[in-house]
Each structure stands twice: as structure tokens, then as C-alpha cells.
Amino acid sequence: MKTPSVLLCLFAIVCLWSCHSATHDEALTGRITAETETFRNGQVPTDSTLTALVTAARDAHDSGALCHALYLQGCVYHYLCRYDQAMTALKEAETLIPSLPADDPIAGMIYTVQGSALEQSDYLWTEADKKYEAALPYFEQCGDTMRLATTYRDIARMSLWREDTTRYEQCFQKAINLAGQQPNRLIYHDIRMQYLLNHYPPDTLTMMCENQILCDSFHLFRYAWIPVEHFLSQDRTDSARYWLQQFAADTALTRWSREHYAYLESLLLAQEGQTDSAFTSFLLLYNQSVHRLQAEGMSRTYAIARQYDLEKAEKRALQLQVDKQRLYIVLGAVALLLLGSLLVTFMERNKRLKREKEVEISRLQTREANRRLQDKRQSLKKILQQRVNMAVRLRRSADSLPQQLPAWVKAYIDEMTFANDSNRQQFMQEFDRVYSSFLPQLHNRYPTLTEQDDQYIALALLGLDNTEIAVLLNQTDRTIWNRRQKIKTRLGDGKMDLDKWIEQNRFEKER
């Protein structure tokens, strides 16, 4: 008779405990929801409140509530620029994502806040981009197109930092299209303004129109600095002062807004003639910036990267503890096999990259050498052409003068041509530097060529015609014609087309 009574009592105790646990879980969820709404309304929860929520969720063994509490804690720490603490909380929340319902957007929001922390703390653009991409499937699964639009916008910004312009345009267009589907038009205009700010060349007129919409319709004054800079560039101080007052409504939101406001106000004071006030404002802004950079330089370390390393080491230690006696040999063999494969792959990849780099460097060096050589050739041609033009004008002027020219006039004409031995030798030396071993190789093939033949071939190879060569060498056209005949004979064919032969050699050298 006593056994049924004992069982009935036990059943009643279990039911009461279940009801108490359900009531406790609902109360905890309500507290987390209330604190989240309070934070969204602008009131920052204290550390003790956040710690109490996380502790209560742990004690209740409610993984869903714990995930929400850790996410709230991470968001608050991120807002307070305590990025290391934010990442610690969010990484733990990430491990609890499988316990969340499929339509809960918190999973994607955990990744987006992680990406923002990585972006703003240590400028880890690649890691932040991975976190933003990880958030996309969760927002798509729960149909949250608004957060999907903002995530595509963040991915586009990361693509811009990584100089991937194609991906930047694609992601920003997706963000703008998704934002255009929202009933809240603020999201659309905000994302469109960010796209215009990063677009080149800048469309100032469109940005001014978007800024007017954001300020008048949505009281979003963070972009009011755009018309301030525009009117300052046009010396319209009254309009600049008006928009600066509009921008002042946002100076309490971010550090960048406060610093940029002080900078624009200093420029405006300088344009208004208040140079002393402008100088004082610039000096104060400079000192604040230096102090901030020094503080960030001490605090911004690679703590997040070290935290990742510690977490990986902890995971490896936990993995080694799982049935160590049964899996030790298998895991060791697999690890060695993988390590050997990775090492071989890594070595082959390094060799391939090294070869490609050497080939690329050689190709660039060859291209640069050819470019410099081509520049020298063009410069030499230009100098010779100027010398020819000057010599022709002098020769024509000399022909119209009496036969007995002064000695200094004849000396000047000789100086402009190759009648002067030093000019001729200097030209041949410069030609050898530009065309390297062309003439020595030519002499090896045709040893009967003379120094006068070299001069004619060098000038012809630079593109001068027979008349210009005659002027430079201070010879008659008949003499040049005889020289051509001798060159053809010494090249082994008295009936050859010398002009064609010179053109072929010029093409080979310039190529």
C-alpha cells in the first residue's frame, strides 16, 4: 500500500520542479529581453548586470538564454570599445549557435558584431570579412533582408580595403537592392550614401541630394559634413555654418564625428578671419589626436590573435583527452600523414612561387631595360635632328653671304656638324652605349668596313636620310652616294637594297 503513495509523491515533486524550472527560464529570458531593449534605447547596462545575466543562464543550464546573454554582453563591450572582452563573450556565444532555433537572427548578429570588433580593434580586414560572410546564411534562412543588406554593405567595405573592386561593386549593389525592399527608407538612403562616399569619381551633386533627404526626413546628421566641406571649398561660410550646426547633432555618437567636427569648425573659423580661434582649435585637436594615438598604440595589440591561438591550443588539448588510449595511434598516424602532405605541398608551392617570381622579376627588368634603351635612342635621334636642322639653316644662311666668311662663322658651322672630330667621336661613343655591341658584331661579319662606313650606318640606323647625313658629315650628296656604293660592296652584294637592309636592322634593334 505504501509503494503507490511513494511513487505518487515522487511524481508530484518532479512536476513541481519542472514548473519551477519553466517559470525560472521564462523570467530569465524576460530579463535578457528587457536589458536588450534598454540597450537599444540608448541606456548601457552595467557590468554587474551583464555578469548576473550570464551567471543566471549558466546556472539554469539554458544554452539559448546563455547565447543571448553573451551576445548582449559582447554588444555592450563592443559599444564601449572593449574589443578583447567583446570577442571573448562573442566567441563563447558562437559555440552555442547550434542550440538556437533556425529562425533566430542572433546567430548572424553574433558574427556581424565579431566582424565589427575585428575591423575596429586591430584592422583585421580578412578575418572581419570571413565573419561577415559567415552571417549571410543565417540571415537568409530567417528571411531578415534588412540585416542581410547591412551585412552585404560591410562585406563591400572589406572588399574595398582589400582592393577587390569587382566584389565591392557586386556586394554594394546587392545591399542597395535589398535595402530598397525595406519599408524603412532610412536603410536604403544610408547604404546608398555610403556607396557614394566610396565611389570614384565622387558625385558631389548626388551626395548633396542624399544628405538633404537623410537630414530632413530621417534626422540623420552624420553625413552633414559633406555639404560643410562643399561650401567651405566655395567660400560660402554662411551655408557652411548652417550645415556644421546640423553636423553637431551627431558629434556625441562617435569619436570620428567629434574630431571631424572640430576640424571643420577650425577651417570655418579660419575662413571667417578668426585666425587666433582657428589656431587654438587646431592645436587642441592635434593634442587630442596625439594623445589618442599614443593610448591606442599601447592598448591595440594583437590580443585577439593571441586569444585565437589560446583557443586553438585548448581545443587541441581537449581533443587529445577524448579516448586517448583508443585513438592515440590512429590520430598520430593521420596527423603525420597530413603533416607530411602539407609539408610537401607547401614546399612545392614555395618552389613554384619562387620560380614565378624570378620569371616575373626578369621580365620586368628586361622591360625596364628596353624602355630605358628606347628612351636613349629617341633622345639621341632628337638631338641629331635638332643638330641637322640647325646645320641646314646655317648652311643656307652661309650660302647667301659672301664667299669669305669670318673664321668664327666657319668654326661655328663646323661645331654644329661632324666636321669636328670631337663631335664625331662623342656621337660614336654615345651610339655604342645605346646600341651596345652592334658595330663590333658587324665588323666581325664584314671586316672590310671602315670608320666612315660606321658613321653612315649609325646615322642611317637612327632614321636620318641621305641629305641630313650629308649635312652632318659636311659632305656632298655625291660623296654620300659613293659611300653607299662602297658599303654595299663591302657587305658582299653591290646590288643590294641598302635602305631595306638598314630598316631590317633598325627593326631588330628597337624590338
Residue 13 has pLDDT above 50, yes or no: no
C-beta of residue 102 within 8 angstroms of C-beta of residue 142: yes
The residue among 218 and 306 whose pLDDT is bigger is 218
10 Å Cβ neighbour count for 26?
11
- Half-sphere exposure of residue 102: CA atoms within 13 angstroms, side-chain side: 3
Residue 9 has pLDDT above 60, yes or no: no
User: What integer is the mean pLDDT of 140-144?
Assistant: 87
Sign of CA dihedral 222, 223, 227, 232: positive
- pTM across the whole model: 0.50
What is the reported pLDDT for 209? 86
Residue 16: pLDDT band (50, 70, 90) is very low
The residue among 393 and 328 whose pLDDT is bigger is 328
Residue-wise pLDDT for 45-83, tens only, equals: 888 888 998 999 888 888 888 998 999 999 998 888 788
- Backbone φ and ψ for 491, nearest 5 degrees, come out as -80, -5
User: What integer is the mean pLDDT of 455-483?
Assistant: 83
Residue whose C-alpha cell reads 636613349 in the numeric block: 376
Residue 142 has pLDDT above 70, yes or no: yes
Largest CA distance in the chain: 155
Report CA Rg, the chain.
40
Residue-wise pLDDT for 254-285, tens only, equals: 677 888 888 888 898 888 888 888 888 888 88
**Cα–Cα distances in Å, from 122 out to 80, 125, 133, 256, 304?**
16, 9, 19, 17, 8
Which of the given ranges, 6-10, 474-478, 480-484, has the highest pLDDT on average? 480-484
User: What integer is the mean pLDDT of 350-378?
Assistant: 81
Q: How far apart are CA 508 and CA 511, in angstroms?
A: 5
- Backbone φ and ψ for 477, nearest 5 degrees, come out as -65, -35
How is residue 432 written as a grid cell?
A: 655604342
What is the separation, in whole angstroms, between the first and last Cα of the chain? 112
Residue-wise pLDDT for 432-462, tens only, equals: 777 777 888 888 888 888 888 888 888 888 7
- Backbone φ and ψ for 144, nearest 5 degrees, come out as -90, 85
C-beta of residue 206 within 8 angstroms of C-beta of residue 196: yes
Residue 294 has pLDDT above 70, yes or no: no
What is the reported pLDDT for 398? 55
Residue whose C-alpha cell reads 670608320 in the numeric block: 451
The residue among 435 and 99 whose pLDDT is bigger is 99
User: What integer is the mean pLDDT of 476-502?
Assistant: 86
Mean per-residue pLDDT over the chain, rounded: 79
What is the reported pLDDT for 113? 92
What is the reported pLDDT for 391? 64
Residue 401 has pLDDT above 60, yes or no: no
DSSP string, 463-505: T--HHHHHHHHT--HHHHHHHHHHHHHHTT-TTS-HHHHHHHH
Q: How far apart are CA 47 and CA 358, in angstroms?
A: 56
**For 130-134, 299-303, 345-349, which range has the lowest pLDDT when averaged over its residues?**
299-303
Say if residue 151 is exposed, middle or buried (CB neighbours under 10 Å; 0-12, 13-18, 19+).
Answer: buried
C-beta of residue 158 within 8 angstroms of C-beta of residue 125: yes
C-beta of residue 453 within 8 angstroms of C-beta of residue 485: no
**For 115-129, 233-247, 407-421, which range has the lowest pLDDT when averaged over its residues?**
407-421
Residue whose C-alpha cell reads 525592399 in the numeric block: 181
Residue whose C-alpha cell reads 554588444 in the numeric block: 75
Say if residue 93 is exposed, middle or buried (CB neighbours under 10 Å; 0-12, 13-18, 19+).
Answer: buried
